[in-house]
């Protein structure tokens, strides 16, 4: 049997599966070192306040307490992915409920809890602002005196001309005002999407040990070990060479675990005590003080002709950045991956603002900012179609971009299959079928580019004919290492059993940016192909075994390639109560070579469930800056009883930039779901929602006030 056809495209089970199901997998919280202390953090009860004084004397007297540190002990330490505006521990001011003020290391968890309760902090409360629209008003309290002065501030994205502004992304094309004058109909709508947690089940854990050689050994729940090393170095002022980040399994990410989080605090405690320290966040801390999604307002204004041709679009998106911008690469959300969307628009303006608020600092989520933006854009698109009396799917078909055309921000797209996946979703959902009263059908599309960046691989060929991959990429549950195993088996023409893959630490592997932006199979895969080719060439030239090659690879982002999905939801709405039942969802995807069908479908299923939660159940509810549903009982993640039947349609086409013509899938099933469901609700009942999630209460109110 041909090796390529036998391995590439085979539904191979997860390489890490047996260890996970038998409990053998080691996560950061499982790390146990001799003499290890437990760490815990005191967090601010105020959304905005001056710290007058901190008295930790009583806490230090608690039996079992070895060290107490405060921001007053270590002022001037900031951390962040790029922008470093987040204090490791606050020394002069707190800016959200949950800001870190002090930390304790003790022999037992009970001692840490007792000590935290005895730290006396004298606060002077200040006025606070929680809504980004209010924060932009001149009379609102100023959260940062000079945001542009922080290390790493991206001056090319400066939005400090806006009150409490942090960063701005903007694009334009043509003459938007002329486009509106050309239109027969101009409509404008504003949508709101609340904050959500990424929903991973493993809370972030940080372990730090300073060994006898003075090297800083780190274990943490982060998907980007090299980025953690950089962030820790910058936060506490030690050289990167002194730091080794040891890789452990990560129990889910979904965008939320790309930072060093509490690692700098664990380091400061380890440095003071001379012993290893472990800090594990509680679920309450995760849901109230980690790095959730951004509460977002999106205003969309579009012009369209009577026959359904878009002439102009203007979008203003305002994200509540939270108290700091540190949790976001570039201090912004990477909307450049999808802002152009799938529609042919000759005149456009897009602006995305990050506004400081006295709320939990926002971070990344799968396709950052996309579910907010897509909900608004696709609901607005449905409203336009219905106002014109055009079928919503047909209206989209008239306006979607084809290969060779420009998107809404002027990028000429070489690869795009928006039309094809939309047609496939329409056909598979039996779009023309008449539904019984109380039922409705909605459609939405979403597309994005993939990211590039640095990746690497270490491949060893042994004398017994086996191969070992030392991967710098953390597998966060997406099956990365399984795909690497398949690729090496295929390229070296050996059975899967002859290939092992294991993660490497920051000492043993080349730099890797970590899984993000649907890039891993593309970037890591290309590095691995290079490694295989180099091994084959060296063996052909007579090299001896064992043989090890190390590849450093930098894959560039493909600006002219955009992968698309389309989803159709069918719902039933109770007109008396507003209760919504999602009956069925069809999810169509543009694909190239599917390297592992099992993992590929798993990504679609998982993405859809994420999108379902964003659509109908998930919302972090706050009062005066304090999250009031900070537990998994009140913060409703979807469970098996909530999930409707899902039908997947794969639309094969050429143009994939990944190995073997593969295309990204990871972030393409979660972002159109909310809009498809909201559009279906409007179709079933006439209740148009401009806010998520789609709850019975909101639908009922919309029914009472059409």
Of the residues 506, 537, 555, the one at which a domain ends: 555
Q: Residue range 523-540: average pLDDT?
A: 95
Whether 537 and 440 map to the same domain: the answer is no
Q: What percent of the chain has pLDDT over 70?
A: 99
Q: Residue range 19-41: average pLDDT?
A: 96
Residue pLDDT, tens place only, 377-390? 999 999 999 999 99
Whether 267 and 402 map to the same domain: the answer is no
Helix/strand/coil percent split, the chain, to 5: 30, 25, 45
| Residue 59 placed within a domain | yes
Q: d(Cα 706, Cα 699) in Å, to the nearest integer?
A: 10
Q: Residue range 304-314: average pLDDT?
A: 98
Whole-Å CA distances, 164 to 78, 368, 452, 648: 19, 21, 32, 44
Nearest Cα residue to 518 out of 582, 583, 607: 607
Annotate 241-252 with three-state secondary structure: HHEEEECCECCC
Q: Which residues contact 502 (CB under 8 A, 6 or more apart)?
A: 468, 469, 470, 471, 481
| Residue 679 placed within a domain | yes
Please name the residue that has the structure tokens 């649907």.
518
Whether 306 and 392 map to the same domain: the answer is yes
Q: How confident is the model at residue 341 (pLDDT cuts 50, 70, 90)?
A: confident
Q: Residue range 670-676: average pLDDT?
A: 97
Q: How confident is the model at residue 109 (pLDDT cuts 50, 70, 90)?
A: very high
| Residue 75 placed within a domain | yes
| pLDDT value for 3 | 43
pLDDT above 50: residue 27 = yes
Residue 551, domain extent: 3-26+451-555
Q: Say if residues 504 and 247 touch (Cβ distance below 8 Å).
A: yes
Q: Which residues contact 518 (CB under 8 A, 6 or more apart)?
A: 367, 448, 450, 451, 664, 665, 666, 667, 668
| Residue 175 placed within a domain | no
Q: Residue range 507-514: average pLDDT?
A: 93
| Residue 134 placed within a domain | no
Q: d(Cα 335, Cα 370) in Å, to the nearest integer?
A: 7
| Residue 222 placed within a domain | yes
Whole-Å CA distances, 257 to 139, 430, 607: 35, 40, 17
Whether 390 and 466 map to the same domain: the answer is no
Whether 665 and 678 map to the same domain: the answer is yes
Phi first, then psi: what are they for 302, rounded to 5°? -135, 145
Residue pLDDT, tens place only, 392-412? 999 999 999 999 999 999 999
| pLDDT value for 209 | 98
Q: How confident is the model at residue 5 (pLDDT cuts 50, 70, 90)?
A: low
Q: What percent of the chain has pLDDT over 90?
A: 94
Residue spans of alpha helices (H) in 365-479: 370-388, 392-399, 418-428
Whether 20 and 40 map to the same domain: the answer is no
Mean pLDDT of the chain, nearest integer? 96
Q: Residue range 355-382: average pLDDT?
A: 96
Look at 312-316, 366-370, 586-590, 680-684 and tell me which has the smallest mean pLDDT.
366-370
Whether 675 and 576 map to the same domain: the answer is yes
Domain of 498: which CATH number?
Answer: 3.30.365.10
| Residue 277 placed within a domain | yes
Whether 584 and 681 map to the same domain: the answer is yes
| Residue 154 placed within a domain | no
Of the residues 555, 574, 607, the one at which a domain ends: 555
| pLDDT value for 558 | 81
Whether 424 and 466 map to the same domain: the answer is no
| pLDDT value for 517 | 86
Look at 100-109, 165-174, 658-667 and tell me which has the smallest mean pLDDT.
658-667
Domain count, the chain: 3
Whether 536 and 432 map to the same domain: the answer is no
Please name the residue that has the structure tokens 């939660």.
613
Of the residues 289, 312, 339, the one at which a domain ends: 289
Largest Cα–Cα separation, the chain? 80
| pLDDT value for 2 | 38
pLDDT above 80: residue 202 = yes
pLDDT above 50: residue 648 = yes
Domain of 46: which CATH number?
Answer: 3.90.1170.50
pLDDT above 50: residue 59 = yes
Q: pTM for the complete prediction? A: 0.96
* Residue 258 exposed, middle or buried by CB count within 10 Å (0-12, 13-18, 19+): buried
pLDDT above 80: residue 516 = yes
Look at 43-52, 264-273, 468-477 and tell me which has the smallest mean pLDDT.
468-477
| pLDDT value for 376 | 98
Whether 429 and 457 map to the same domain: the answer is no
Whether 311 and 385 map to the same domain: the answer is yes
Q: Which residues contact 436 (CB under 8 A, 6 or more apart)?
A: none
């Amino acid at each position: 049997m041909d090796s390529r056809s036998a391995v590439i495209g085979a539904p191979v089970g997860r390489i890490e599966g047996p260890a996970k199901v038998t409990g053998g997998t080691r996560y950061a919280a499982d790390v146990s070192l001799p003499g290890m202390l437990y760490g815990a953090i005191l967090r601010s009860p105020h959304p905005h306040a001056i710290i007058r004084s901190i008295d930790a004397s009583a806490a230090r007297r608690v039996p079992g307490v070895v060290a107490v540190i405060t921001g007053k002990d270590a002022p001037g330490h900031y951390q962040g992915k790029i922008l470093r505006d987040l204090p490791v521990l606050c020394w002069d001011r707190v800016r959200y409920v949950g800001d870190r003020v002090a930390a304790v290391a003790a022999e037992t968890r009970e001692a840490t809890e007792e000590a935290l309760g005895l730290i006396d902090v004298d606060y002077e409360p200040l006025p606070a602002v929680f809504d980004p629209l209010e924060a932009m008003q001149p009379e609102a309290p100023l959260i940062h005196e000079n945001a542009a002065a922080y290390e790493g501030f991206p001056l090319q994205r400066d939005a400090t001309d806006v009150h409490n502004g942090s960063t701005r992304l903007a694009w334009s094309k043509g003459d938007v005002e002329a486009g509106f004058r050309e239109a027969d109909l101009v409509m404008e709508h504003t949508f709101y999407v609340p904050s959500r947690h990424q929903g991973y089940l493993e809370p972030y854990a940080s372990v730090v040990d300073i060994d006898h050689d003075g090297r800083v050994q780190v274990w943490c729940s982060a998907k980007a070990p090299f980025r953690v090393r950089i962030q820790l170095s910058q936060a506490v002022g030690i050289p990167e060479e002194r730091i080794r980040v040891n890789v452990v399994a990560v129990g889910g990410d979904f965008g939320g675990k790309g930072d060093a989080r509490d690692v700098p605090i664990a380091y400061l405690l380890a440095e003071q005590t001379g012993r290893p320290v472990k800090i594990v966040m509680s679920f309450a801390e995760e849901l109230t003080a980690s790095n959730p999604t951004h509460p977002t307002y999106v205003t969309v204004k579009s012009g369209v002709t009577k026959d359904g041709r878009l002439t102009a679009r203007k979008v203003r998106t305002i994200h509540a950045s939270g108290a700091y911008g540190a949790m976001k690469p570039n201090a912004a959300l990477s909307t450049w991956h999808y802002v152009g969307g799938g529609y042919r628009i000759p005149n456009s303006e897009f602006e995305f603002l990050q506004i400081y608020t006295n709320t939990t600092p926002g971070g990344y989520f799968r396709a950052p900012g996309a579910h907010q933006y897509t909900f608004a854009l696709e609901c607005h698109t449905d409203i336009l179609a219905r106002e014109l009396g055009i079928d919503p799917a047909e209206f989209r078909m008239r306006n979607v971009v084809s290969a060779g055309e420009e998107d809404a921000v002027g990028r000429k797209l070489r690869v795009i299959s928006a039309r094809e996946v939309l047609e496939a979703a329409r056909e598979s959902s039996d779009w023309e079928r008449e539904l019984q009263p109380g039922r409705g059908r909605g459609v939405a599309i979403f597309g994005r580019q993939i990211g590039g960046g640095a990746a690497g691989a270490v491949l060893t060929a042994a004398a017994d004919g086996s191969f070992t991959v030392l991967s710098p990429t953390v597998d966060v549950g997406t099956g990365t290492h399984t795909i690497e195993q398949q690729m090496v088996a295929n390229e070296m023409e050996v059975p899967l059993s002859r290939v092992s893959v294991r993660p490497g630490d920051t000492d043993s592997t080349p730099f890797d940016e970590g899984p993000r932006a649907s890039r891993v199979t593309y970037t890591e895969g290309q590095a691995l192909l290079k490694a295989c080719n180099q091994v084959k060439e060296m063996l052909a030239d007579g090299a001896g075994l064992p043989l090890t090659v190390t590849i450093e690879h930098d894959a560039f982002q493909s600006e002219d390639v955009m992968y698309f999905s389309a989803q159709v939801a069918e719902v039933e709405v109770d007109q008396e109560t507003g209760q919504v039942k999602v009956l069925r969802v069809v999810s169509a995807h543009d694909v190239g070579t599917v390297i592992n069908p099992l993992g590929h479908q798993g990504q679609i299923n998982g993405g859809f469930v994420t999108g379902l939660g964003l659509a109908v159940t998930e919302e972090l509810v706050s009062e005066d800056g304090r999250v009031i549903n900070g537990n998994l009982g009140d913060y409703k993640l979807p469970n098996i009883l909530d999930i409707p039947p899902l039908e997947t349609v794969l639309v094969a086409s050429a143009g994939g930039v990944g190995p073997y013509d593969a295309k990204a899938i990871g972030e393409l099933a979660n972002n159109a779901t909310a809009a498809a469901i909201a559009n279906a609700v409007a179709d079933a009942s006439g209740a148009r929602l401009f806010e998520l999630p789609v709850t019975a209460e909101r639908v009922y109110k919309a029914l009472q006030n059409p």
